[in-house]
Structure 1
Amino acid sequence: MILIIHRFTAPIAILCIALFFSATIFVELYGSAESIATVKSLIVWPGLFILVPAIALTGGSGFALAKSRKGKLVQQKKKRMPFVGANGILVLIPCAILLDLWASAGVFDAYFYVVQAIELLAGAINLILMGMNMIDGFRMNGRFR
């Protein structure tokens, strides 16, 4: 059951972050102020209410699965997950909420774009780390060599 939870929630978490990242870039390049505000609002609700449980369930199920396993790949995955969680809790969630508040108020100043850049960088880092964990998981299961 834990493996099923892990295999279900991990792709949801990765897809959420990838969707938030790509939607942000797309709307910043091609959207209006109203569309930017809409995307920022959707990232917070319902986005974070999908992403946060998905990451929590992925991390929890991953640690539960790792208890019975040993090896270099397991250790690498264990080392990455605290960074993913901390990055999400300390950077991504506050940035998303702050950007939503500013965008809904029509405040698109230098602070908005600095926080936006921080959010995009943190999102890219999480995507890379989660992708590395996914690849290592596939290697552990024999899907990749």
Structure 2
Amino acid sequence: METITLPATIDTLTVINKILEKTLSGKLEHMLFKTELVVEELLANICSYAYDGQNGGNAYFVCGEVNFDGKSCIMIQITDDGKAYDPFLNCKDPDLNAPLEERPIGGLGLHLVKEIATHYAYFRIDNKNQTQIILDIDNNDM
């Protein structure tokens, strides 16, 4: 799997989505929506929190098919060199039964990522944030 370095901006999603379309074409095409959703949420969090909404940093993106716990899966890894930020540390599950106007802003995207991921992890390595997501190819929920 090749690591692709891109600016850590929301505009980068257009480029990443084209890469995902190419990477997941054929037998993995049914995973495209889930994968795009996960990448969009992770990149939005990187832009908002690791770089405080400022441009200037990079995101290092890897995606491909891997074997995880004996299953064929999609692995997504996004690394950035912004300030330390674990997206899962303080991510509380939203109250989906609360009226919409009473719900706080934010958190629903990461909730979706956690729900559809087989595995998710955050690491701080060499002053870089690294987030890994594993999606089970055979899980067709969503």
- What TM-score, normalized by structure 1, do the two folds share? 0.32
Larger Rg over CA atoms: 1
Q: Which has the higher helix share?
A: 1
Q: Which has the higher contact order (CA 8 A, sep 6+)?
A: 1
- What TM-score, normalized by structure 2, do the two folds share? 0.32
Q: Which has the higher strand share?
A: 2
